[in-house]
Structure 1
Amino acid sequence: MTPRRHFIAAALALATGLALAGCSTLNAVTALLGNQVNFTQPQLQQSLDRNFPKHYDKLGGLVSMTLLNPHLSIPQGSNRLRLDFDLGIGALGSDSSRPSGHFALTSALRYDPTTRGLHLQEPTIEQVDVPSLGGVMNSSARGLLNNWLAGYARDEPVYRFDNSLLDRLGSRRIGRTDIENGQVVVRLGDN
């Protein structure tokens, strides 16, 4: 094969790779359909991955908790999403950055104009497994987890709308948020 043919073959391979990468990116693009915006599980997961791990201290560092490896799923037929986390708990200065357990929650979502994001709404802890605590949560760990959950739902979005999406929405009002058919659907109205 001549050098020119090597160059053409390499260029075609690169173009094919970029096209395939572009196709997977297109699948994650937010869909604006009439009076709604749809978000997929991969979009929400990508947002979570950028914002974890998170570390929290209580009682002046006597008890600490680290949440790692978030995994978001939208169970088919459910109107709530599920979030699974690895959980690290430390006491008296011990390391909480390594997973020592797992917990899962389910939640609806709501839009908050202050953060321009989708937040947990009425989250419920579904499962807690912390083998280092005998598989169950003690009162300190449960309090730390519940405090985190309340603060997280109030202050931190699972997904934040970017400027390009808000520009596309223009003056339309963001209304109710539903979870249906494996997607998050944000309903839109006129101002």
Structure 2
Amino acid sequence: MDPRRTFRFPFAVLLTVAIALLSACSTVGALLGDDVRFTPMQLQHSLDRNFPKHYDKLGGLVSLTLMNPRLAIPPDGDRLRLDFDVGLGALGSDSSKPSGRFALTSALRFDPSTRGLHLLDPRIEQVDVPALGGAMNSSARALLNSWLAQYAREEPVYRFDNSLLDKLGSRRIGTTAIENGHVVVHLDQ
């Protein structure tokens, strides 16, 4: 038996396992470079775990339920797009069923207090609520804008887990950008 052949097999297996582990790791950038990249699918999974969300205003006279978030990052854009189904209720009517939808675009920022990526300068791009004649009235728009401001301030779109933060070690998170269809978190020394 050729000893070189015996050595090549375990080496090839080890190399294959190492490559598989690196490709499965979403934080390869943290291990190899100056940034961490997230795919739209990673952010979508995070959103799926955190919706639907229900909000009552005016002592429950008006309610808003946001459900079925859909995230997209245009390949040539610098903002992500979020589409939601929205349920509106008034005077005790049910808001758990979609009565329309809306879309927003936003940049992202990192917030160290939540260890997450939050909306930055979100803009409502499209609203379609057939029950309101296809457009939103002022009270529904105010409710939606109120939710959007609160959500951008308090709720991350994506929260960094402990294993990712451990891999970053002493490196600090710098700017966050949307580049080539990915969210890119740049790392400082």
Give the TM bin, normalised by the shorter chain: 0.7 to 0.9
User: 1:49: Cα distance to partner?
Assistant: 0.1
Supply the AA of the counterpart residue of 1:40.
T
For residue 30 of structure 1, report the CA deviation from its aligned partner.
Answer: 3.5
One-letter amino acid matched to 2:54:
H
| Alignment-derived partner of residue 28 in structure 2 | 31
Unaligned runs of 5+ in 1: 1-22
**Native 8 Å contact 1:68 1:87 kept in 2:** yes
The residue number in structure 2 matching 1:100 is 99
8 Å contact kept, 2:26–2:37: no
Secondary structure of the 2:44 match is helix
Residue deviations 1:14-43 (CA, integer Å, cap 9, x gap): xxxxxxxxx8xx567343241000000110
Q: Does 1:58 align with 2:54?
A: no
The superposition leaves residues 49-90 of structure 1 with CA deviations (integer Å, 9 ceiling, x where unpaired) of 000000000000000000000000001100000000000000
Aligned twin of 1:70: 69
Give the direction of change, closer, same or farther, for the CA distance of 1:27–1:40 in structure 2 (3 Å limit).
farther
How far did residue 127 of structure 1 move?
0.1
Between the aligned partners of 2:182 and 2:132, the Cα distance in structure 1 is: 36
Code of the aligned partner of 1:157: P
Cα distance in structure 2, aligned partners of 1:66 and 1:144: 11
Is the Cα contact below 8 Å between 2:28 and 2:36 reproduced in 1?
A: yes
User: Take 2:33 and 2:75, find their aligned partners in 1: how far apart are those partners?
Assistant: 23
Distance in 2 (alpha carbons) for counterparts of 1:31 and 1:44: 17
- Per the alignment, residue 154 of structure 2 pairs with 155
Give SS of 1:47's match.
helix
Alignment of 1:91 with 2:90, yes or no, is yes
Any gaps of 5 or more consecutive residues in structure 2?
Answer: 1-19
CA–CA distance in structure 1, aligned partners of residues 143 and 61 of structure 2: 12
Match of 2:5 in 1: none
Specify the code of the residue in structure 1 equivalent to 2:184: V
Alpha-carbon contact 1:31-1:39 (below 8 Å) kept: no
> Partners in 2 of 1:53 and 1:28 — Cα distance?
28
Name the residue aligned to 2:169: 170
Report deviation, 1:91: 0.3
Aligned length: 166
Alpha-carbon distance change, 87 to 28 in structure 1, aligned in 2, over 3 angstroms: farther
* Structure-2-length-normalised TM-score: 0.85
Counterpart Cα distance in 1 of 2:139 and 2:25? 40
Q: TM-score, normalised by structure 1?
A: 0.85
> Identical aligned pairs, as a percentage?
74
Shift of 1:140: 1.0
- Where do 1:116-155 residues align within 5 Å? 116-155=115-154
